[in-house]
Structure 1
Amino acid sequence: MPPRDPFPGRQLPRPSELAELLRVKRPTLNARRRRLDAALTIEDLRAIAKRRTPAAAFDYTDGAAEGELSLRRARQAFRDIELHPSILRDVSRVDTSTTVFGGPSAQPFGIAPTGFTRLMHTHGEHAGAAAAGAAGIPFTLSTLGTASIEDVKAANPDGRNWFQLYVMKQRDISFGLVERAARAGFDTLMFTVDTPVAGARLRDTRNGFSIPPQLSLRTIANAVPRPWWWYDFLTAPRLEFASLSSTGGTVGQLLDSAMDPSVTDADLATIRELWPGRLVVKGVQTVADARRLVDLGVDGMVLSNHGGRQLDRAPVPFHLLPDVVREVGAHTEVALDTGIMNGADIVASVALGARFTLVGRAYLYGLMAGGQEGVARAIAILSEQVVRTMKLLQVTTLEELGPQHVTQLQRLVPRPRP
């Protein structure tokens, strides 16, 4: 016999009841807003960016050096973690704010320095600085940026601006940029030390990517489905660089012509004399160098392998983090970049002792996906993930995070050294 219906006396729904179920969402007419609202993760923004940006410009952002092992390992390191939540704690409100390098940030992350940024989107650093300022997080301008120090200050007049410095063969250019950044009120100088020469960025070579972009049959074919990018690029002001007097050639060729492989501790001492604010060294990849920098009196350091764009097979910063914090964390502030694609990556880094984190590609994916609105969406996605992860871990402040909340699972285990 058929089973008994648990709801006898069924009847057709009234029109008023149907009306409650048939609420039609008002369509978003703004195509950019619609795209960005549909992006729920940084990976979603990356997919939009790939569709909307010519291959050479996208690959410059997305790619890394040689076999791109360092980048893949860095991202895998964040996937290979286990998070350990507490229970029965009131997390109706959480505070994500922090202080880093002498000033405040609304989130435990900021915008990393990126070069040639207007090639990703014509608004470039202006969009990044404005979005960072609105979100209350720091913005870092690269020596190889495509906006001037003064223009970034104008785009983010009340927020925190940092300047990333390469010491180049023409020392006067580098030292002049330091003085300009100080006059403009930038509060932190990030001296990058992992670029004596350019890494072998093979995607750029294979794409024939040059500065400025050159039109060829291949680039024209790739541009056909992306006319908006070329319209923006060709109608915007000409690309100019604060630190490069001439362009023409691949990014690697430009870097090799400008960078000085003879930079030493003496240059660090000179910069310390020139710079009145916080001095941070970016590109630290060993515990021994972290210890040495503390002895040299720096105000902080960033564990970084340059996003995997320099030495392939370099150490994974997230793996290095606990050892460096254990060795020097009581004496200086330790920040981290490379591989961050989720707010949980940021929370895990803070739990293991990082004072702060920097995001580069995640920011650029948002920029390529939708200009300043896209950067704001990237910041919002990461911020929402930070808050949600903290609530699920049941901590209310960043200070409550600790090593007890994170286990780094082992995938690549070093063999004993002879």
Structure 2
Amino acid sequence: MTGRQLPRWSELAPLMRPKPIRFSATERRLADALTIADLRTVARKRTPRSVFDYTDGAAEAEISLHRARSLFHDLELRPSILHDVSSIDTTTTMLGRPAAVPFSFAPTGFTRLMHHEGERAVVRVAQRRAIPYALSTMGTTSIEDVAAAGPDARKWFQLYVWRDRSAGEDLMARAKAAGFEALVLTVDVPVAGARLRDARNGFSIPPALTVKTVLDAATHPAWWLNLLTTETLTFASLTAWSGTVADLLDRLFDPTMTIEDLEWIRASWDGPLIIKGIQTVEDARRVTDAGADAIVLSNHGGRQLDRAPVPLRLVPDVRDAVGDRAQVWVDTGIMTGADIVAALALGADATMVGRAYLYGLMAGGERGVDRAADILTREIRRTMALLGVTSIDQLGSHHVRLP
């Protein structure tokens, strides 16, 4: 027979602690989001379909993005046991300077479309957390305003090469004057990719009012209210544009650019140079030989060429090819801290994340970006501890096996 007794209050009290009350709806949403995938779910509910699809989507059948995420999903992490992992150090070096975590916030266009706080929210989080942030040429906040919002953040400027080279020179000069540390030259957009979700949604900047968008507005009143009552949504680096994203890219960007044009870049920019959009070992060698300080293995988040190489799979071969002559970074498909750790174990020096923090931005503005950074950082620390390593430099190819 099991003996029974009346419980004492002292025994019941610890079991009856109420969950902390959060009066802010945004804080409640973010507190319940435990993963980047959770933030994505919230973001989908909080923003109009065309805006969410622009962020979430990729080119054509979206095979490139699917393959990138599948590789991260299917790889195997291989832990080593019985190590003291009571203290985990996530710091690393990017462009010769320390970074608190082994990822940066990638450049993304139209950021104030996702949430009215836009680039200012991202750079403020970057400053607090010592995470480098790259501002896009297609940003919706000016170089100078981003610098003012995050004066102590590590700021990089991402450049597309325009047909009008003088416009590019002006942007580089402004970035240098505003204290931006490095230039990120994106080289995988000679023409716009076919982003079919955007075409089907009639996505444009500024948003065009159609029957579909009006109906969508009825289910996202807060988003529309913020759009209409804050500063006008425009491209900060363009005088004006009213049309589709694809038309804009094809009108502005220079399809004649070659490796020799890096000399033109160097004539205007004497700081660190990052080349983003490398998808073959040979191209990694070429841009390293041309003086790149870092290269980003990237297929533009799957948004340009469908069926493009999966960047993560290139990491070991590119690492061997360029050695220590340039840092090797990787993006595309990263959704967890474990993804980041796997990339580092394969030989990457660091990673860039884009959609991951944009889901946070759409879910809750600056607080959502902070939540995304917190989730990734916690996952990195936990994965490192479970692998049996305490610092980034202890990660190696023996910790991961690709399918």
TM-score range, shorter chain: over 0.9
- In structure 1, the partner of 2:50 is 56
Question: Pairwise mapping of residues 206-355 of structure 1 onto structure 2 (< 5 A)?
Answer: 206-355=200-349
Shift, 1:175, TM fit: 1.1
SS at match of 1:127: helix
Query: What CA distance in whole angstroms lies between the structure 2 residues aligned with 1:23 and 1:158?
Result: 41
> Do residues 358 (structure 1) and 349 (structure 2) align?
no
Gaps of 5+ in 1: 410-418
- In structure 1, the partner of 2:17 is 23
- In structure 2, the partner of 1:416 is none
Query: What CA distance in whole angstroms lies between the structure 1 residues aligned with 2:277 and 2:14?
Result: 57
Which whole-Å deviations, capped at 9, do the CAs of 1:229-254 have from their partners, x for residues lacking one? 00000001112323323311111111
Shift, 1:297, TM fit: 1.5
> Do residues 384 (structure 1) and 374 (structure 2) align?
no
- In structure 1, the partner of 2:6 is 12
CA RMSD of aligned residues (A): 1.0
> Do residues 46 (structure 1) and 43 (structure 2) align?
no
Query: What CA distance in whole angstroms lies between the structure 1 residues aligned with 2:219 and 2:156?
Result: 37
Which whole-Å deviations, capped at 9, do the CAs of 1:135-170 have from their partners, x for residues lacking one? 111000000001111111111111200011001011
**Residue number among 368, 375, 384 corresponding to 2:369 in the alignment:** 375
Shift, 1:226, TM fit: 0.9
Letter in 1 for 2:284: A
- In structure 2, the partner of 1:95 is 89
Query: What CA distance in whole angstroms lies between the structure 2 residues aligned with 1:396 and 1:191?
Result: 33
Question: Pairwise mapping of residues 193-212 of structure 1 onto structure 2 (< 5 A)?
Answer: 193-212=187-206
Query: What CA distance in whole angstroms lies between the structure 2 residues aligned with 1:329 and 1:155?
Result: 37
Query: What CA distance in whole angstroms lies between the structure 2 residues aligned with 1:245 and 1:20?
Result: 61
**Residue number among 399, 404, 408 corresponding to 2:402 in the alignment:** 408
**Residue number among 111, 120, 123 corresponding to 2:114 in the alignment:** 120
Q: Pick closer, same or farther for the CA change 1:16–1:205 going to 2, 3 Å.
A: same
> Do residues 188 (structure 1) and 191 (structure 2) align?
no
Retained in 2: the 8 A contact 1:102–1:278? no
Query: What CA distance in whole angstroms lies between the structure 1 residues aligned with 2:179 and 2:192?
Result: 30
Q: Pick closer, same or farther for the CA change 1:76–1:273 going to 2, 3 Å.
A: same
Query: What CA distance in whole angstroms lies between the structure 2 residues aligned with 1:102 and 1:185?
Result: 17
Shift, 1:110, TM fit: 0.8
Which whole-Å deviations, capped at 9, do the CAs of 1:39-81 have from their partners, x for residues lacking one? 0000000000000000011100000000000001000110111
TM-score between both structures, scaled by the size of structure 2: 0.98
Query: What CA distance in whole angstroms lies between the structure 1 residues aligned with 2:227 and 2:323?
Result: 44
Query: What CA distance in whole angstroms lies between the structure 1 residues aligned with 2:379 and 2:314?
Result: 24
Q: Which has the larger radius of gyration?
A: 1
Retained in 1: the 8 A contact 2:205–2:234? no
Retained in 2: the 8 A contact 1:329–1:353? no
**Residue number among 158, 162, 166 corresponding to 1:164 in the alignment:** 158
Gaps of 5+ in 2: none
Give the length in aligned residue pairs: 403
- In structure 2, the partner of 1:72 is 66
Question: Pairwise mapping of residues 100-111 of structure 1 onto structure 2 (< 5 A)?
Answer: 100-111=94-105
TM-score between both structures, scaled by the size of structure 1: 0.95
**Residue number among 369, 392, 395 corresponding to 1:398 in the alignment:** 392
SS at match of 1:163: strand
